[in-house]
């Protein structure tokens, strides 16, 4: 009985050895399937495309480009048919990642990590960057709102003095934030406005402005040369003048009580239209027509004249505010003084426009809704390893 068992065991060993030898001979025959290659066909006799584990594809990239590729320990070895023959490193990585639902990240100078693209893995593997933005021209609240809205930045902190915004996020989001802050934190447009207050004879001014509606016109635009001609021809007198400077979004005020003999208040805001080179002036004017009284003098309380206007002008064009009157001095009986009217001339000059270099306002491609990407640090990595 023992002898028979030994014979059966020996036969089993001989059969196993024969099978191994036969398999080796088959792989060495011409036309037999060879070793795996990137994107190569490993099909049967029909010659159709074969399927291979994706990790084998990544290992082939390691050999081709001299990389080291690490896999997350939970990564499943997908079977794929992705053909990446002739593709560069970036395109190969993108093709494999999209076909299997993976993402890849840089570990060091020659190592890439591959993991399943899930929010948990992103939080675990994507490195975070802290960036401080020192703001000079734009409000902190404006930048904070833009970043939270456009790149869904949640880890933001602000410092009021000096105005600073601090962001902690992934490298692509920080890169986008840098670009946006650079575009937003520019010096605001600035405008200088020459303010001149003339005194005209009411009747002569009405005749001169008759084509535009006479002295019923409360405001009108006028080229500079025409203003000078009007002042000279109608023998107007310059009562007061000044120059106001303002940045866009802010207003500048001017008041004069002495030169005019009455209370005069002017507030101006300006908006620069960069493409057209025009300026919109928003003005608020208040004139108390009562003369400045000496001690003991009395007069009727005149109506306070108020005027609010908005006018879009070409740079250097004069804007006239007309129809403003003031009471003559209390003891004056001069018909000439009673027929005088004030005209305010405003001439804007653009000092500084919003400055953008060519190409700065072009569209930014920032990835997809689920994955924001921009200025990926992988660019430098791939350009160094596969500079094609």
Query: Whole-structure pTM over 0.75, yes or no?
Result: no
Beta-bridged to residue 113, according to DSSP, are: 70, 105
Extract the runs of DSSP E, i.e. beta strands, from the chain. 52-53, 68-71, 79-80, 102-108, 111-116, 128-134, 156-159, 164-170, 190-201, 219-222, 237-247, 251-256, 263-273, 278-288, 304-314, 318-324, 340-352
- 52-119 in CATH: which number? 3.55.50.30
Domain boundaries, the chain: 52-119, 127-188+366-385, 190-292+301-352
Q: What is the pLDDT of residue 364?
A: 79
Cα separation, 188 vs 272, whole angstroms: 9
Q: What is the pLDDT of residue 280?
A: 93
Cα separation, 6 vs 261, whole angstroms: 133
Q: Are strands 68-71 and 111-116 parallel, antiparallel or unpaired?
A: parallel
Q: What is the pLDDT of residue 283?
A: 92
Cα separation, 64 vs 21, whole angstroms: 32
Half-sphere exposure of 90 (CA within 13 A, CB side): 12
- Given a cut of 70, the residues of the chain with pLDDT beneath it are 1-52, 210-220, 222-224, 289-303, 326-338, 358, 370, 375-380, 387-388
- 127-188+366-385 in CATH: which number? 3.30.1370.120
Cα separation, 375 vs 3, whole angstroms: 77
Q: What is the pLDDT of residue 300?
A: 52
Q: What is the pLDDT of residue 162?
A: 92
Q: What is the pLDDT of residue 289?
A: 63
């Amino acid at each position: 009985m023992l002898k028979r068992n030994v014979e059966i065991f020996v036969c089993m060993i001989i059969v196993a050895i024969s099978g191994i030898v036969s398999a080796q001979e088959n792989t060495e025959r011409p036309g037999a399937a060879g070793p795996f290659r990137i994107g190569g066909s490993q099909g049967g006799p029909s010659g159709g495309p074969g399927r291979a584990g994706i990790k084998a594809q990544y290992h082939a990239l390691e050999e081709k480009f001299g990389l080291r590729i690490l896999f997350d320990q939970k990564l499943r070895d997908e079977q794929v048919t992705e053909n990446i023959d002739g593709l560069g490193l970036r395109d190969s990585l993108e093709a494999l990642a999209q076909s299997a639902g993976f993402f890849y990240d840089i570990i060091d100078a020659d190592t890439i990590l591959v993991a399943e693209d899930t929010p948990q893995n992103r939080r675990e593997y994507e490195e975070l960057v802290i960036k401080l933005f020192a703001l000079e021209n734009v409000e902190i609240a404006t930048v904070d709102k833009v970043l939270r809205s456009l790149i869904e930045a949640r880890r933001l902190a602000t410092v009021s003095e000096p105005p600073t915004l601090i962001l902690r996020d992934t490298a692509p989001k920080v890169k986008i934030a840098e670009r946006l802050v650079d575009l937003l934190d520019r010096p605001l447009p600035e405008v200088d406005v020459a303010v001149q207050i003339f005194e005209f004879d009411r009747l002569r001014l009405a005749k001169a402005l008759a084509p535009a509606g006479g002295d019923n016109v409360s405001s009108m635009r006028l080229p500079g040369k025409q203003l000078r001609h009007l002042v000279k021809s109608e023998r107007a007198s310059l009562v007061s003048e000044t120059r106001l400077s303002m940045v866009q979004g802010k207003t500048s005020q001017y008041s004069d009580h002495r030169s005019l003999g009455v209370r005069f208040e002017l507030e101006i805001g300006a908006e620069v239209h960069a493409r057209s080179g025009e300026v919109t002036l928003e003005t608020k004017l208040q004139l108390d027509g009562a003369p400045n009284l000496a001690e003991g003098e009395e007069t009727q309380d005149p109506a306070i004249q108020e005027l609010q206007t908005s006018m879009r002008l070409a740079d250097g064009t004069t804007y006239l505010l007309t129809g403003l009157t003031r009471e003559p001095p209390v003891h004056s009986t001069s018909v000439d003084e009673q027929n005088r009217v004030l005209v305010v001339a405003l001439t804007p000059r653009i000092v500084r426009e919003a400055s953008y270099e060519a190409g700065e306002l072009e569209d930014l491609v920032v990835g997809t809704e689920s994955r924001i990407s921009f200025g990926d640090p992988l660019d430098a990595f791939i350009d160094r390893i596969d500079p094609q």
